[in-house]
Amino acid sequence: MKITVGISEMRISAEPAETLITYSLGSCVGLALYDSEARIGGLIHSMLPFSKIDPEKAKRMPCMFVDTGVPALLQAMFDRGARKHSLIAKVAGGSQIMDEKGIFNIGERNYAVLRKLLWKNNILVSGEDVGGSVPRTMSLHVETGKTVLKMQGREVEI
């Protein structure tokens, strides 16, 4: 069963039959976390790097921002029984879409903030596909932790 993770949302699952999926990761970043021991998966789709641009919106929608969404995802995973030492992290997105001249660099900034948060939490990224100028669909299979990207008509496991 596919569980859709919309823009500015996260989902957590321990149901082996479920696949968490998010569509159209452009400049947004997707983070899939999987605990290989507890068999719990989590997926977030964050739009912007910093919540300080709109603190009120960040209170209502913490997953919109990388700096508030990623800690919320980590805490939700820990609350469900995940343990930091067994987390596998995979990252996708951070493209430069509709910003060919790199004026805003939203994708690059999203990715930088995400990597910094993971580093501060001693979580290494074991697979990623970021940057460029293509949108990606990211899915996490809860039974196995397999993370798959679809982009430009092809599928790759990261």
Tokens of 70: 């990623």
Least confident of 7-11, 15-19, 99-103: 99-103
> Does pTM surpass 0.85?
yes
Specify the number of domains making up the chain.
1
β-pairing, 40-46 vs 125-130, is unpaired
Residues 99-121 have pLDDT tens digits of 555 556 899 999 999 999 999 99
Distance, in Å, from the CA atom of 115 to the CA atom of 59, rounded to the nearest integer, reads: 22
Percent over 70 (pLDDT), the chain: 96
- Report the 10 Å Cβ neighbour count for 36: 12
Helix then strand then coil, in percent of the chain rounded to 5, is 30, 35, 35
| DSSP characters over 89-123 | EEEEE----S-TT-SS-HHHHHHHHHHHHHHHTT-
Q: Of residues 98 and 136, which shows the higher confidence score?
A: 136
**Where residue 72 sits, what CATH number does that domain have?**
3.30.1330.200
Domain range spanning residue 83? 2-157
Q: What is the pLDDT of residue 101?
A: 57
